[in-house]
Amino acid sequence: MPNIKNYSEQTFEAIKHINEYGEEFWYARELQHILEYAEWRNFENVIQKARLACRNSGNVEKTHFVDVNKIVEAGVTSKPLNDIMLSRYACYLIVQNGDPTKEVIALGQTYFAVKARQQELIEDYDQLNEDQKRLAIRNEMVEHNKSLADAARMAGVIESLDYAIFQNKGYQGLYGGLGQKEIHAKKGLKKSQKILDHMGSTELAANLFRATQTDEKLRRENIRGKEKANQTHYEVGKKVRQTIQDLGGTMPEDLPTPGKSIKQIEREQRKLLKDDE
């Protein structure tokens, strides 16, 4: 069995393929090996769950799971072997339904989930420049923080002060104990400036993942009580941090603060639109 320390983001990049149209995909048989499933039949069960999740989410299954036959050598002869071409979103659904006791599953969840979530939420994400990515993710953060606030209210986080504590717990988990106040100070921001407006796309993506996963967990597990909600937000943030670390990524508090704020980018975008009119 491979040593978990040998895994990194490149582990999953190394088995990525590009088709004739420039679209990325993964083969299920290769992903099976990386995710440490010894038998295809056991991995097929996970794929079936992922297919169901794909259909239930309103996506077209055949777009993300393409059945193929490959010819493989078998001694002196050759034989056909069924396989599946998977989109990044399909891989995301597979690792979400994989064996949670496998450490590599957690690594795969962050690798596939962050970009799959970006691509699911933000059209043509990979074609955007850094400023456009920041603006797109920040806008998604605004919308998903509304949903997170609603999930928190259902869990019992009602008062404004309680919600501030709840939000701070998420930051503390993701930033290694640093809360909003400490992050604000580390970035050298003025009191009126929002920390989310002064994050690069990578840092924003980690926070978007933290927010969406906490939202889903609160709802899925029907969590009730302020303390349990706070602990959930902290644990999700901590899990995202741990997986980023395992993948060899940079900790969010160590990522550079962009020179331009989201507000500046918005003003520039509005000026460009006005000039084009």
- Helix/strand/coil (H/E/C) assignment for every residue in 89-148: HHHHHHHHCCCCCCHHHHHHHHHHHHHHHHHHHCCCHHHCCHHHHHHHHHHHHHHHHHHH
Share of the chain above pLDDT 70, in %: 88
3 has pLDDT over 50: no
Q: What is the mean pLDDT of the chain?
A: 86
pTM score = 0.63
Q: Which of the pair, 95 or 2, is modelled with greater confidence?
A: 95
Contact 170, 236 (CB under 8 A): yes
Residues with Cβ < 8 Å from 193, sequence gap 6 or more?
A: 184, 261
Residue 189: strand, helix, or coil: coil
Residue 8: strand, helix, or coil: coil
41 has pLDDT over 90: yes
159 has pLDDT over 90: yes
Look up residue 58 and give its two tokens.
């309103």
5 has pLDDT over 70: no
The whole-number average pLDDT for the span 84-102 is 87
The whole-number average pLDDT for the span 238-254 is 89
8 has pLDDT over 60: no
Contact 64, 137 (CB under 8 A): no
Measured between alpha carbons, how far is 164 from 31 in angstroms, rounded to an integer? Answer: 41
Q: What is the DSSP string of 35-91?
A: TT---HHHHHHHHHHHHHHHHHTT--HHHHEEEEEEEEEETTEEEEEEEEEE-HHHH
The reported pLDDT for the residue numbered 258 is 94
The whole-number average pLDDT for the span 16-27 is 87
Contact 125, 119 (CB under 8 A): yes
The whole-number average pLDDT for the span 28-32 is 95
Look up residue 118 and give its two tokens.
């970006």
What's at 125, amino acid-wise? Y
What's at 68, amino acid-wise? V
